[in-house]
Structure 1
Amino acid sequence: MADALARGMRALARLLDYPDAALIEALPEVGAAIEAMPLPATAPRQPLLAWCRQLASSDLLDSQAAYVAQFDRGRATSLLLFEHVHGESRDRGQAMVDLLAEYEAAGFVLGERELPDHLPLLLEFLSTRPEEDIARWIGEIRHILALLTARLEKHDCHQSLIPLTLLCMIGAEAEVDAHREQVSSEPADNTPAAIDAVWEEEAVRFSAESDQDCALQSAEGKRLAERSQQVHPETIRLPDVPPSTSIGGLS
């Protein structure tokens, strides 16, 4: 079961990341991994599989444009976890350092352009961890996952199925309910007018006290600019996963 869970976590990570030709090619393997993934009955397995089939038949450029519009404009649905906790405060820099230390201690190496709090990257990391660690990490970010699920559902985004699945894995899917009413009245922050307003309100910073601070200033813009340079695996990598106890509700 540990290997099936690792494959499933990797598949969820890939679906949540920027869609490219490599993903389309790997969709049969992604779907097989989700189908075999140990999940509780409450998890949206069938909607995930239906989404895989839809992606396979969709125009790739349209899928990419929709992804950029949803995740690279505005902050409400950012996949950078610390954006929802620390915003652009200095606390975010220390949180990045602490998370990097966790990765390094586990022998997980990041690429040059990868930010440690990017949710797809965290899921890849979790695919290398024992089941009890996966449950612990999901539990620690459950409030962010619940808010993200509610916001993506509001936009009829298939990506909402990923954080919802994670919540189901620890029996916390009901926490999304607490955010749906709040989210229903939130103004969109990814429209041209909203983006222009942010640019007008935020002061321009011409220096940074550290390389880390510099990276944080332009995290979202940097990710958008480097889309064409990112290299994704042609298939789902299957890390070695040590034997472990099971996540609650998945046995």
Structure 2
Amino acid sequence: MRILKLISALLSYPTQALLDAVPELEQAVREDRSLPLHERERLFDFLETLEDADIWTLQAAYVEQFDRGRKFSLHLFEHVHGESRDRGQAMIDLLTVYQRHGFELKARELPDYLPLFLEFLASLPDAEARELLDQAMHVVALLGERLSAQHSPYHVLFDALLALGTTPQTLDAIREQVAGEGPDRSITEMDKIWEEEQVTFLASGPGGCGASQPAQQTVHFVRRPQAAAPL
């Protein structure tokens, strides 16, 4: 399912390198046979908007869409566990899946970051990739419905993911949930939420969670040497 790597790139923070690669991405969509024709056509439309866009406008829109609150977070476990302790164990379990397939994270990125997860799935045999994608499909559907309700162009990427996997049985309930949602509370009540929630830094100084890090980082998977130490 190489198309997953293309969707991963389109869901990542826009860069000039991505815009320069649009003709190559269009060719990849043209050659793909895993998606229905309708979904491929909508991916072409999405790529055409990239060709005509200014990089700074794209980057500002991306940050506004995905980075300002929790409602559209591209971290999968944010929508499953929130800030509970269960999220930490889920991260460990997902890292174990990556390690089992001989991969380790090269960038400082949480393992549940959706573009990273999709890039990993693109390296797997189709059946295994679909099985793992299906496990995240309820979150994919939730994000897709929220983006669609906002008329965001990014919703076509989530529709493509739904077409590649199994439509969740809870899709109607997800649509009802989205229809009844108000504004993102993590934005409208930011000060109150910060007062209510305890903030814990796992480490301080370079490399710790409290350390200053770049807002966006390129995500890659690299093959682990056989003798590599575990994460």
User: Unaligned 5+ residue runs, structure 2?
Assistant: 224-231
Query: Structure 1 residues 25, 232: closer, same or farther in 2, change over 3 A?
Result: farther
TM-score (norm 1): 0.77
In the alignment, the residues of structure 2 paired with residue 30 and residue 232 of structure 1 have an alpha-carbon distance, to the nearest angstrom, of 18
Letter in 2 for 1:168: A
Residue 87 of structure 2 is aligned with which of 76, 92, 102? 92
What is residue 65 of structure 1 aligned with on the other side? 60
The answer to whether structure 1 residue 14 and structure 2 residue 9 are counterparts is: yes
What is residue 208 of structure 1 aligned with on the other side? 202
- Kindly report the root-mean-square deviation, in angstroms, between the aligned alpha carbons of the 2 structures: 2.9
What is residue 214 of structure 2 aligned with on the other side? 226
Query: Structure 1 residues 209, 171: closer, same or farther in 2, change over 3 A?
Result: same
- Select the structure with the greater relative contact order (CA < 8 A; seq sep ≥ 6): 1
The secondary structure found in structure 2 opposite 1:109 is strand
Letter in 2 for 1:33: A
2:107, 2:219 within 8 Å by CA — same for their partners in 1? no
1:70, 1:190 within 8 Å by CA — same for their partners in 2? no
The Cα shift of 1:227 comes to 3.2
Query: Structure 1 residues 84, 42: closer, same or farther in 2, change over 3 A?
Result: farther
The answer to whether structure 1 residue 45 and structure 2 residue 40 are counterparts is: yes
| 1:1-251 alignment runs, 5 A limit | 5-6=1-2, 8-41=3-36, 44-172=39-167, 176-189=171-184, 192-205=187-200, 207-208=201-202, 215=209, 226-227=214-215, 230-231=217-218
The Cα shift of 1:192 comes to 4.9
TM-score (norm 2): 0.84
The count of corresponding residues between Structure 1 and Structure 2 is: 220
User: Unaligned 5+ residue runs, structure 1?
Assistant: 240-251
The Cα shift of 1:59 comes to 1.3
2:137, 2:165 within 8 Å by CA — same for their partners in 1? no
In the alignment, the residues of structure 2 paired with residue 95 and residue 112 of structure 1 have an alpha-carbon distance, to the nearest angstrom, of 19
1:142, 1:167 within 8 Å by CA — same for their partners in 2? yes
1:40, 1:169 within 8 Å by CA — same for their partners in 2? yes
Query: Structure 1 residues 96, 53: closer, same or farther in 2, change over 3 A?
Result: same
Identity %, equivalent residues? 40
Between structures 1 and 2, the one with greater helix share = 1
The Cα shift of 1:175 comes to 5.4
In the alignment, the residues of structure 2 paired with residue 199 and residue 147 of structure 1 have an alpha-carbon distance, to the nearest angstrom, of 25
2:109, 2:219 within 8 Å by CA — same for their partners in 1? no
The Cα shift of 1:178 comes to 3.3
